[in-house]
Chains A and B, each alone.
Chain A
């Protein structure tokens, strides 16, 4: 059954081709059937492949379909590689992807671009599967660019509004910075190893490079920048909040669950290179820690429910990078998985709420929805609880706890990183509770416009279940140490040596739980008991300024505008005539002069032409006679 691996990305590709080439001829029902069939078959295939992979006992499996190109020994293949890491990513992508497609078939019903939407979505799923299954970096880069393209297309899906187009361009251009760095990293790897086959590089790198050598650091640095761009980490995080301009299922699938975690996948996939460059790995951890705080603070003060979730996504990916940076590979991937479930759930629930409120994004204009939208409320509550890492019962608790614990006790970790993480956990608890309270409690400020149907509620319930039970796949030592997830993952990623005692672990978990409950209580007081308190605080100018600063994402947009965009625009304006054009301009002038001269001979008068012929004859004969 392992040989059916190639079918996993093929089904979404077929769906894309059908919808892109003939989408206009299908009815909406047929479009929904096509896209769901493609995604469903892909999911079934990936489940079958996973089951047989687990049964076979192999740690890795490679399926080379054909050689892509062969240029003097450089022969990247269209080849798929399966190991524990890609199995998890593949399962999450197909499973969450299928649920979001199911959700979208109802969510997008009214939209005129129904076929176009699902064509892009299927293309995205295919590209994402290529990204996680590719056995060489060139093929991976194809998927990497493919998801970037789909992200661009889907952010600008409602292109009639120019703001959406600008958001799409921003996302594309900012991630391009990272992609360019990644391409340079690939060139560097190729010049050193003569191949871009991932497994070969991972085996050759420790033999050729010493730990901390310049080449290893440069290569890791370039890959890191690429990962930062895709995963919206500092300083390339500015595109993600604007990316919320796309339809909500897109935000759920691309900008929360899958694509933005491609950076996590890339670093985990090339972990050997990062282990050879400890300084870069430390940078990854520090940037992750800073990002999770910066984005968390911004999430605290947003009014748009989707922007809260966007900043929260940046923050949660910051946790994953923190884990990657300290070498807790399986904790990072575990958090990726739980985050995919609960963040997709949150986005989809938010989408249901937004739809019910007739496209109102401001959560302060919602309120009191818990009775009107019970299922949406409960699923949103479960998602928020998981995001806030409510102890013991939610998946988010186990994954975040693993990261915090590893950040503290691993060699490369430190107390500062742990402190940043625990502070971030507090902020997370506050903003996720704030979101739930403001949206669902208090008085209702707006009438329900449309109730979610079955195809919207089913994915919500399934994802809610997974947001709870996914955590039990990886229990800490203090709670029995039942950890099949990390056991499975350690067949592909190195095992982090844990040294801490169980007692210390319990203590840390108690601290984390206390922090979470503290955050929830703070939000409860500030937004439920005394709803006037935030406004009262805003009367202090300092706090108001801080709030505005955070609201605008720490003014990164203004900063980039001042350092990059304005100088560029200025230079472009100065050089409107293009100074370098003046150099070859004389060719134009000579040409123009010749043209003008010769044009004078074209009088349009037949007698003039005849005279020309006669004079020419005279001159020719004269030449013959005289010479």
Chain B
């Protein structure tokens, strides 16, 4: 059984990351924004796991665990912010939140 080349795993991570980036840049709905960020973080984790699998080391998977922790914290705070925002401006459109305009 031929091995999977490492490039293919990394390419998958790259594609997912870029899709997530596209989502962040395109979507104005903040829920979609957060989901796209999840995709990007997940892609970054995939890249770590692939690199760990190349050497047969546990380090890559541990990095994924840390990313998981970051994601959990980010989602908790982010969704709380979404609720606060919705309470205040009655919409999920991020373009409304531009009071910091210079």
* B54: interface (CB < 8 Å): no
Known contacts A599-B102, A601-B102: A606-B94 contact under CB 8 Å = yes
Partner of A606, one of B21, B26, B97, B102: B97
Within 8 A of A (CB), among B81-102: 94-95, 97-102
Decide: A606 and B25 in contact? CB cutoff 8 A: no
Q: A602-B100, A610-B24 are in contact. List 15 more A-B contacts (CB 8 A).
A: A599-B102, A601-B102, A602-B101, A602-B102, A603-B98, A603-B102, A604-B102, A606-B33, A606-B94, A607-B26, A607-B28, A607-B94, A607-B95, A610-B21, A611-B25
Within 8 A of A (CB), among B45-102: 94-95, 97-102
Decide: A605 and B98 in contact? CB cutoff 8 A: yes
Report B-chain residues with C-beta under 8 Å of the C-beta of A606. Answer: 33, 94, 97
What are 10 A-B contacts defined by CB distance under 8 Å? A602-B100, A602-B102, A604-B100, A604-B101, A604-B102, A605-B95, A605-B98, A606-B97, A607-B28, A607-B95
In the assembled complex, the Cα of A225 lies from the Cα of B10 at a distance in Å of 90
Report B-chain residues with C-beta under 8 Å of the C-beta of A539. Answer: none
Decide: B100 and A607 in contact? CB cutoff 8 A: no
Partner of B101, one of A598, A603, A614: A603
With most chain A CB atoms within 10 A of its CB, the pick from B99, B100, B102 is: B102
In the assembled complex, the Cα of A607 lies from the Cα of B33 at a distance in Å of 9
How many residues from A make CB contacts under 8 Å with B?
Answer: 13
Decide: A607 and B101 in contact? CB cutoff 8 A: no
In the assembled complex, the Cα of A604 lies from the Cα of B101 at a distance in Å of 4
Decide: A605 and B94 in contact? CB cutoff 8 A: yes
Decide: A600 and B102 in contact? CB cutoff 8 A: yes
Report A-chain residues with C-beta under 8 Å of the C-beta of B26. Answer: 607
B36, chain A: closest CB distance, angstroms: 10
List residues of B whose CB falls within 8 A of some A CB.
Answer: 21, 24-26, 28, 33, 94-95, 97-102
Partner of B25, one of A601, A604, A610: A610
A104, chain B: closest CB distance, angstroms: 62
Known contacts A599-B102, A600-B102, A602-B102: A607-B24 contact under CB 8 Å = yes
In the assembled complex, the Cα of A385 lies from the Cα of B39 at a distance in Å of 107
Report B-chain residues with C-beta under 8 Å of the C-beta of A598. Answer: 102
In the assembled complex, the Cα of A603 lies from the Cα of B21 at a distance in Å of 20
B9, chain A: closest CB distance, angstroms: 19
B88, chain A: closest CB distance, angstroms: 15
Number of A-B residue pairs at CB separation under 8 A: 34
A589, chain B: closest CB distance, angstroms: 19
Report A-chain residues with C-beta under 8 Å of the C-beta of B100. Answer: 602, 604
Report B-chain residues with C-beta under 8 Å of the C-beta of A614. Answer: 21, 25
In the assembled complex, the Cα of A361 lies from the Cα of B24 at a distance in Å of 85
Within 8 A of B (CB), among A574-627: 598-607, 610-611, 614
Report A-chain residues with C-beta under 8 Å of the C-beta of B95. Answer: 605, 607
Residue of B nearest to A602 (CB): B102
Decide: B97 and A604 in contact? CB cutoff 8 A: yes
Report A-chain residues with C-beta under 8 Å of the C-beta of B101. Answer: 602-604
A616, chain B: closest CB distance, angstroms: 12
In the assembled complex, the Cα of A610 lies from the Cα of B24 at a distance in Å of 7
Report A-chain residues with C-beta under 8 Å of the C-beta of B28. Answer: 607
Report B-chain residues with C-beta under 8 Å of the C-beta of A603. Answer: 98, 101-102
Within 8 A of B (CB), among A265-307: none
Decide: A604 and B99 in contact? CB cutoff 8 A: yes
Within 8 A of B (CB), among A142-164: none
Report A-chain residues with C-beta under 8 Å of the C-beta of B102. Answer: 598-604
Report B-chain residues with C-beta under 8 Å of the C-beta of A599. Answer: 102
In the assembled complex, the Cα of A92 lies from the Cα of B63 at a distance in Å of 91
Report A-chain residues with C-beta under 8 Å of the C-beta of B97. Answer: 604, 606
Report A-chain residues with C-beta under 8 Å of the C-beta of B25. Answer: 607, 610-611, 614
Report B-chain residues with C-beta under 8 Å of the C-beta of A610. Answer: 21, 24-25
In the assembled complex, the Cα of A600 lies from the Cα of B24 at a distance in Å of 22
B30, chain A: closest CB distance, angstroms: 8
In the assembled complex, the Cα of A610 lies from the Cα of B36 at a distance in Å of 12
In the assembled complex, the Cα of A610 lies from the Cα of B102 at a distance in Å of 17
Report B-chain residues with C-beta under 8 Å of the C-beta of A607. Answer: 24-26, 28, 94-95
A582, chain B: closest CB distance, angstroms: 28
In the assembled complex, the Cα of A602 lies from the Cα of B99 at a distance in Å of 10
